[in-house]
A and B are shown apart, each in its own frame.
Chain A
């Protein structure tokens, strides 16, 4: 799997279900799932590293605002994610490569549907080739 086909999925613990993970692994082999205790743990500089290394996109799945197990994690993350998307836009990279979607726990079918939608959206985006361009002299 070339690194520029990968999509990273940050999944908050409250939304994680064994069957969901199995289905994602089967149906979407280009996705790597990263479990975080809460979507508030997500640090955009990780997403930047992934995107500059060639990943197609980063999808963030967290609980509905108001339903966070840790009370405010998802609320705090909203501005952070917005700045991350806007920073990418400022650089001429599509901000839609980072996408956050909020759910009530248990909505597995909805989650799979939205993942498929995200993959089809970013499939249309051009490939970002920043690596490996070794800077030579000057």
Chain B
């Protein structure tokens, strides 16, 4: 695998070249109110890669918060369905500068939506997206990627991978998709130097030193459901306000609701929108019965899903340790504490 240097001062050339290829570049930057968000950028200066990762996850660019699936018209001859084709689905985009936690999340989303019944719109979005990962040098105090088995400098899942230094990035083109846009970078690529191989390790070490202690979750992998009836859940569900913040900001939360809207006696449409298992109506049956009627059951289910059910069904954790759930929780519920409580309850 070739590694080259690309200097930050040359990045604008790259961005113009990418634009000429018809690609939209999305990365983290500040909006007009100084909030850190993922947004479309036109120049390298608009990016703020030195900051922690935004609270908002990047999944909204792969799985829009709302989508009209089709519209219907009832006529004497029958009902006609007109599928909606999102113009945005075909637009080629580059997610520029995603940390390993977010890149792993995209890998998970891809695996999830390409299961037994491939989700066509989302597969379409992912097909047209190129992921440029970056080694993480600035974690937040809520990050726990190493706990979930992800290294802060892991390039797995990325099409192109960057390792940042003060003046330049080390760049690797890892997949066919990544190589397909190499031309945009070609003019600015410089040869790497002898000790460049050490940068990744340096960043990894420094980031790991900044992280809070790693929790050994391998010891409870496959056994988390044994904590189902333990008493510690109440401590969290008592104060949880079921706001849904953790699910909406989680890069691997994939649940959505599908509803129909009648616009008139004969016309209407079907849409899907992000939904949350924290909401009371999530499992509400048409009969009025709700199998998860209490906050405790819903909170426990969320943890079980991330740390047990996907392990059992898809052989993977669905948490990447990005820490957004901890950062957004208005009442200070900490997922790491829950993991520690599970370990303690299982005597691991």
Chains A and B directly touch (beta carbon < 8 Å): yes
Chain A residues packing against B (C-beta within 8 Å): 134-138
- Asked if A136 and B39 sit within 8 Å, CB to CB, the answer is no
Q: For residues 30 through 86 of chain B, which have their beta carbon under 8 Å from a beta carbon of chain A?
A: 37-40, 60-61, 64-66, 68, 86
Query: In the bound complex, do residue A136 and residue B38 qualify as a contact, i.e. CB atoms below 8 Å apart?
Result: no
Q: By the criterion CB–CB under 8 Å, are A138 and B68 in contact?
A: no
Residues of B within 8 A of A (CB): 26, 37-40, 60-61, 64-66, 68, 86, 88
* Chain A residues positioned under 8 Å from B66 (CB to CB): 134-135
Q: Are A138 and B39 in contact (CB under 8 A)?
A: yes
The distance in angstroms between the C-alpha atoms of A138 and B38, with both chains bound, is 7
Across the two chains, which residue of chain B brings its CB closest to A136?
B88
Q: How far is the CB of B309 from chain A (nearest CB, A)?
A: 29
- A interface SS class: loop
B61:A137 contact, CB within 8 angstroms = yes
A132 nearest in chain B by CB position: B68
Q: How far is the CA of A136 from the CA of B39 in the complex (A)?
A: 12
Please give the distance in Å from B223's CB to the nearest CB on chain A: 39
Which residues of chain B are near A134, meaning CB under 8 Å? 66, 68
- Is B65 a contact of A135 with CB atoms below 8 Å? yes
A135 to B61, CA, bound (A): 11
Q: Closest Cβ of chain A: how far from B29's Cβ, in Å?
A: 12
Query: 17 A–B contact pairs at CB < 8 A?
Result: A134-B66, A134-B68, A135-B64, A135-B66, A136-B86, A136-B88, A137-B26, A137-B60, A137-B61, A137-B88, A138-B26, A138-B37, A138-B38, A138-B39, A138-B40, A138-B60, A138-B61
Taken together as a complex, chains A and B put the C-alpha atoms of A135 and B66 apart, in Å, by 7
Which residue of the partner chain A has the closest CB to B93?
Answer: A137
Closest CB pairs A-B (n = 3): A137-B61, A136-B88, A138-B60
Q: A138 CA to B86 CA in the complex, in Å? A: 14
- In the bound complex, residues from chain A placing their C-beta under 8 Å from that of B61 are 137-138
Distance to closest chain B CB from A24 (angstroms): 22
Min CB gap B32→A, angstroms: 14
